[in-house]
Chains A and B, each alone.
Chain A
Amino acid sequence: MSAINPDQIHDVEAEKPLVSMRVADIGVALLFLAASGIVIADSIRLGFEWRENEGPAPGYFPFYVAVVMALASVVNLIRALPASEDGAAPMTSVQGFGRMSAIFVPAVVYVAAIAFIGIYVASALYIATFMLFVGKFALWKAIAVAGGVSIVSFLMFEVWFLVPLPKGPLEAAFGF
């Protein structure tokens, strides 16, 4: 893994471009159109006509909202299509994407892990891993910070404010 140092300013524009603004704009506009399509399809199933003594059918409001969303997205799409100087600017670079993945991919694993080992252990592991591999901290520092954050949140939620969070086998071993 190349050095990812988030504690340093990176000039994304100067790095190897990954996605241009234009492509991203087109992609998001299409995403909006797809969302409009889903909503319109379900609204048609629900009905968007006027019903006697009932008023507008359940699909009425979402149907027109989705139609407006689709129209606005078509405008956005048409605006994004022609190649322009602004559109050619990179939205993110290869390295920038790598740095974002460094926090996001482990976050996905972390959320998946919560169901099995509980939120406190998963949080400690997540913070410690990030500190070790991305922040290049010494092992004891990573353990101290990660453990500290988890223990403080455990006390705060489970003990002081009595808000139960997902717990795993470790907490069960301590009787929680």
Chain B
Amino acid sequence: MEELAALAGGFAVAVTPYNIALMVLGIVLGVVIGVLPGLGGANGVAILLPLTFSMEPTSAIIMLTSIYWGALFGGAITAILFNIPGEPWSVATTFDGHPMAQKGKADEALVGAFTSSFVGAIFAVALITFLAPAVAKFALKFGPAEFFAVQFLTFASFIGMGRGSPAKTIASMCLGFALACVGLDGVTGSLRMTFGHEELLNGFKFLVAVIGLFGIGEILTSMEDGLKFSGADAKLKMDAVIRTWRQLPKMTGTFIRSCIVGCWMGITPGGATPASFMGYGLAKRFSKNGKNFGKGELEGVVAPETAAHAAGTAAMLPMLTLGIPGSPTAAVLLGGLLIWGLQPGPLLFVEQKDFVWGLIASMYMGNVVGLVIVLTCVPLFAAILRVPFSIIAPAIVVVCAIGAFTVNNAMFDVWMMLVFGVLGYLFTKLGYPLPPLVLALVLGDQAESSFRQAMLISQGDVTVFWSNWLCGAIMTLGVVMAFWPIVSGVIAKFRGPDRVAKVA
């Protein structure tokens, strides 16, 4: 139980009045970000990152993770009240959340959503508390081959578990890798794909890509379709809390299923969005009330929210222990750690014990504080949506521009943000997934250098990736994942077409 002792130490680091104040500020900002279109967890954190440069790393990461928790909570508010998912992972929440609001049970839906988010998050944090040190200890023995294997598995999972077209996923991912190659090659020092442009020397900054792809891209989509918030009332009486909590114990099965699905999808970078859909789907299949799903069933709100929050939180586990983020937002947080001179990975648990345990403790605290804030302040947050979009849209463009500029103090990045914005719009419209692109851009350098180191050690022998059972198992799993769409296609053909129709 040395984890508990370490955790207690972490609480001592995290629980200072200053940090709690940052937590509250972060969560409020996060909910606002989650509620507003065009600002999401990933680009919201990216934009606010420069504000934390002058802080201590522990305080800074507490604020940034709090923004993330807030954004996770915030997505549910618009989904339930206005049938507009503030975040992609709250799409599944609209299925039952909005019908509940239309029946006048918006308060129960909101309380249910927040509570289940909380449960999912705490489950994932507990998992991190006990699993992360073990994973980190284990990963200390990793060589370049093992690291490449894990990275390979990460990207292969996108292909194997993605919902869209595998060819589009691969194209999007490779574009990320190609962009990551631009600039100075860390191993040989040669310039790659800069074509004589000095601005490209440092390569493409993934924070800029995140701000453009998600922020500007979403603003364009919202401008195209228009945005009208004509929503249900957001009054939340305290008796609704008790009324809802009384119904929740019946859904223990759903909670457990969604927690497990969420954690799995968060650790392997499936992400919160597919996790929420899977949580919803599982609950629909196994719940006694499954046939009422879609008509305003509380369980239909609980299932996706629990899974999304569990996934969003669990995404921090591979980020901290292996330096491989499980989601775009975790990738942005990883970028922050690098800026403060902290190298995420197994060594972090040895060299920066205070920081790591302070962060884990703050995850517990942040979610408790978050739950209290959202339960008490829903009407305020809902009021933000009454602000006309013709004010919000240009203001968000301004915020994105400031965020992109501060990444590297370069105007070039602001121009790139606009380019990435157009790409983000096109890719979203045409079903090219964005998370693989972002993660490839973040991890490209690392994946490439572990690959080159491994190859150098083995003198060009690819079998180095199967030289021991661990590495071999991860690589094999990765290869299976990468070819899963083809494999499942063949299986489906053998079983006949009617079965496929049912699954799809």
Q: Which A residues are closer than 8 A to B by beta carbons?
A: 5-10, 12, 21, 24-25, 28-29, 32, 35-36, 38-39, 42-43, 46, 50, 54-62, 65-66, 68-69, 72-73, 75-76, 79, 91-92, 96-97, 99-100, 102-104, 106-108, 110-111, 114-115, 119, 123, 126-127, 130-131, 134-137, 145, 149, 153, 156-157, 161-166
Q: A55-B452, A111-B401 are in contact. Are A10 and B395 (CB under 8 A)?
A: no
- Rounded to whole Å, the gap between the CB of B236 and the closest CB of chain A is 26
Task: Name the residue on A nearest B220 (C-beta).
Answer: A100
In the assembly, what is the distance between CA of A24 and CA of B398, in Å? 28
Residues in A neighbouring B21, C-beta threshold 8 A = none
Residues in A neighbouring B460, C-beta threshold 8 A = 50, 55-56
- Give the residues from 165 to 213 in chain B that come closer than 8 angstroms, CB to CB, to chain A: 165, 167-168, 170-171, 174-175, 177-178, 181, 185, 187-188, 190, 192-193, 195
When the two chains form the complex, which single residue of B190, B418, B425 contacts A46, counting CB atoms closer than 8 Å?
B190
Bits for B411-455, please: 1 = Cβ < 8 Å to A, else 0.
100110010011001110110100000000000000010011101
B418 touches A6 (CB 8 A): no
Task: Name the residue on B nearest A74 (C-beta).
Answer: B167
Q: A28-B430, A127-B391, A130-B393 are in contact. Are A100 and B224 (CB under 8 A)?
A: yes
Residues in B neighbouring A96, C-beta threshold 8 A = 224-225
- Given contacts A39-B181, A42-B193, A58-B190, could you give 14 more A-B pairs where the C-beta distance is less than 8 Å? A42-B192, A42-B195, A55-B460, A62-B192, A66-B174, A72-B171, A73-B171, A76-B165, A92-B429, A107-B216, A115-B411, A136-B390, A145-B395, A153-B398
- Rounded to whole Å, the gap between the CB of B343 and the closest CB of chain A is 22
A123 touches B167 (CB 8 A): no
* Total contacting residues, chain B, CB less than 8 A: 65
Task: Name the residue on A nearest B427 (C-beta).
Answer: A28
In the assembly, what is the distance between CA of A39 and CA of B195, in Å? 11
B224 touches A10 (CB 8 A): yes
Residues in B neighbouring A38, C-beta threshold 8 A = 193
Residues in A neighbouring B151, C-beta threshold 8 A = none
Most buried by A among B389, B394, B455: B394
Residues in A neighbouring B399, C-beta threshold 8 A = 153
A69 touches B455 (CB 8 A): no
When the two chains form the complex, which single residue of B170, B390, B411 contacts A114, counting CB atoms closer than 8 Å?
B411
Residues in B neighbouring A164, C-beta threshold 8 A = 409
Residues in A neighbouring B178, C-beta threshold 8 A = 35-36, 39, 62, 65-66, 69
